[in-house]
Every structure is written in C-alpha cells, then in structure tokens.
C-alpha cells in the first residue's frame, strides 16, 4: 500500500491528536499506510505544553516537515499530509516562512506554488496568501495572476477535471464597477485573464466576489481564483468546513492538509475533530503515484 507521511504539526496544538486519530481511521488504513512524523506519543508531547505558543514546538514542527518533505522527494513516501502549525510560533523561533505553502516551496527548490482548497461543491485557489490586506493590490500583479490561473488549469486534471472551467474574482466591490470602485480589474485582472485565454485556458471574469462563489457551488465553474486569503476561504469554509482539504499546487510532491488551524483552545482535551485530516489523507492517497 502507498505510504503517506503525516506530519503532526505544532505539538502544542491539536495536530498530534487528529493525526493519531486519523491514522487509525478504517477509511485511511484501507487505502494507504500512514506514517507519523513528529512528537505524538504522550511521553513525547510532555515536553510541549498544550495550548501555548512556543518556539520549541515550532522547531519540532519544522523538523518533521523537513524530514517528511525529503522522504517524499526521495520516494520513500508517496505523499505527505500536514497538520496545522502556528505562524506566531514560527516567527518566535526565528523562521521566515508564514506557513506551510511558502516553506514547502522553499524545501522543494523555490518552485511556483498556489494554495487550493478542495471540496466536492467548491474549489478555490488563492492568488495571494498570507500577507496583510493592504499589501494585496501590489502583490496581485498581472504575471502572478496569469501564472496562478495557468497552474490551476494544469493541476485540475489530476482531480478528474480534464477540461476545467475557471472563474476569477474581482478585487474590489462589484468587481470595480467599470473603474468606479477601483482600477485593478481594468489594469491587472482583465489583462491577466486575457493572457490566460491566449494560452487556451477556459477562464472568465473578473466577477463580483459576492456572487461568483454561489455560481461555482452550483456547478457553473470548476474552480474560482480568489485575489486574497479571506475572499476565498470564507465561502469554502462556510460550505465545507471540516471536509475541505488544503492542497499545494505546483510542488513536485503530493501535499495536502486540513482546513483549520492549531486550535490551541482545545489542545490536550481529547475533543478535536479529525474529519478534515481524514479527508486530507484520503485525497493524498488518491493523488499519490503508485509505489
């Protein structure tokens, strides 16, 4: 059976709990051989106070991610699934990365990546990720948006969507209302869409963000490209929280993750729901190559 690495994330959060629970789930063991990376036994976790932000936990999380990535690249495991880490703890430990996406891109050779949240009803890809909202317009360049559209179109056939139909959100309310409410749709987003169409990609937009996700959830589009983090994640989590899966597009390895954070408030209490972790492992096993 395919070996799938499971990194337990920040050991002070719920990651070890949901990783252990999910690794024992009958649906998981029926399709893969889960391999846990990082502190997850009671003795190992004793060194990491539950529910706290601390540098030691971040260092342990980083070590497990690095080791699993190396094993995935070497073919020792067919893919990897990551439990949540704390961005605050990473910063406290002196790491420059804002989360798994940019860290994994670095570990895999600084490849061009994008974050996608996958659910049966709605798929969302983010053009920008973990940056302050005021920095989004500058980061949302024509080249970046075109590349994310193209990466999405290349990636979706792996999920069974062989001729994907894509939609792109506007950045401003009402998609700028022809320049009345903002110029980015005219100066950046529409030219990027035109560039992608020139590559033969079936993509439309920009559409107002307050309606396009409803249209996509009803089946009109296979995926939506969102301009920034919360624009894309609010609708997908509203529709499929606990069942959605975070997938990193563009990596040379398979990587999936949960759709939630470290949940420090319930860490160590034995009540965390492993549902999203189970879904992430099942999707990784589906996407991973046969050994």
H/E stretch holding 155 reads helix 142-155
At residue 99, the pLDDT reads 86
CATH code for residues 112-244? 3.40.718.10
Strand order in the sheet with 3-7: 33-37, 3-7, 79-82, 255-257, 245-249, 114-118, 123-126, 223-226, 166-169, 203-207
The model's pLDDT over 59-106, given as tens digits with 9 standing for 90+, comes to 999 999 999 999 999 999 999 999 999 999 999 999 998 889 899 999
Architecture per CATH, domain 1-111+251-291, reads as: 3-Layer(aba) Sandwich (3.40)
CA distance 18 to 51: 15
Residue 42 in tokens: 């009671």
* H or E stretch at 167: strand 166-169
- Residue 46: per-residue pLDDT: 95
**8 A C-beta contact, residue 44 and residue 20:** no
Q: Is the pLDDT of residue 110 over 80?
A: no
Q: Phi and psi at residue 262, in whole multiples of 5°?
A: -75, -20
- The model's confidence at residue 5, banded by pLDDT at 50, 70 and 90, is very high
Q: What is the pLDDT of residues 155-201, one digit of tens each?
A: 999 999 999 999 999 999 999 999 999 999 999 999 999 999 999 99
Report the chain's mean pLDDT, rounded to a whole number: 95
Residue 167: per-residue pLDDT? 98
Q: Which residues of 99-126 are buried (b: 16+ CB within 10 A; e: fewer)?
A: bbbbbbbebbeeeebbbbbbbeebbbbb
SS3 246: strand
Distance, CA of 189 to CA of 195 (rounded, Å):
10
Calculate the dihedral angle through the C-alpha atoms of 257, 259, 264, 265, rounding to the nearest 10 degrees: -150
Identify the pLDDT of residue 289. Answer: 78
pLDDT over 60 (residue 291): no
Instruction: State pTM to two decimals.
Output: 0.89
What average pLDDT does this structure show over 240-263?
93
Question: CA 104, CA 221: separation in Å to the nearest integer?
Answer: 29
- Would the CATH topology of 1-111+251-291 be identical to that of 112-244? yes
Q: How is the chain split into domains, by residue range?
A: 1-111+251-291, 112-244
Distance, CA of 75 to CA of 192 (rounded, Å): 36
């Amino acid at each position: 059976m395919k070996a799938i690495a499971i990194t337990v994330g920040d050991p002070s959060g719920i990651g070890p709990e949901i990783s252990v629970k999910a690794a024992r789930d009958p649906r998981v063991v029926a399709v893969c051989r889960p391999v846990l990376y990082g502190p997850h036994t009671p003795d190992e976790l004793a060194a990491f106070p539950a529910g706290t932000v601390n540098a030691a936990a971040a260092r342990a999380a980083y070590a497990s991610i690095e080791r699993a990535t190396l094993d995935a690249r070497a073919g020792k495991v067919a893919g990897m699934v990551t439990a949540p880490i704390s961005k605050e703890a990473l910063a406290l430990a002196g790491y420059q990365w804002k989360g798994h996406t940019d860290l994994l891109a670095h570990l895999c050779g600084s490849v061009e990546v994008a974050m996608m949240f996958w659910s049966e009803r709605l798929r969302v890809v983010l053009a920008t990720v973990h940056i302050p909202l005021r920095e989004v317009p500058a980061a949302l360049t024509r080249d970046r948006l075109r590349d994310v559209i193209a990466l999405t179109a290349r990636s979706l056939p792996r999920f069974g969507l062989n001729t994907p139909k894509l939609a792109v959100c506007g950045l401003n309310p009402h998609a700028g209302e022809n320049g009345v409410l903002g110029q980015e749709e005219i100066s950046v987003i529409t030219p990027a869409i035109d560039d992608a169409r020139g590559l033969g990609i079936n993509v439309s937009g920009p559409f107002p963000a307050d309606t396009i996700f409803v249209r996509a959830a009803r089946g009109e589009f296979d995926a939506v490209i969102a301009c920034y983090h919360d624009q894309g994640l609010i609708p997908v989590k509203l529709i499929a929280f606990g069942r959605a899966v975070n997938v990193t597009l563009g990596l040379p390895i398979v990587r999936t993750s949960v759709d939630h954070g470290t949940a420090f408030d319930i860490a160590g209490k034995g009540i965390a729901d492993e549902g999203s972790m189970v879904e992430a492992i099942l999707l990784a096993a589906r996407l991973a190559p046969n050994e």
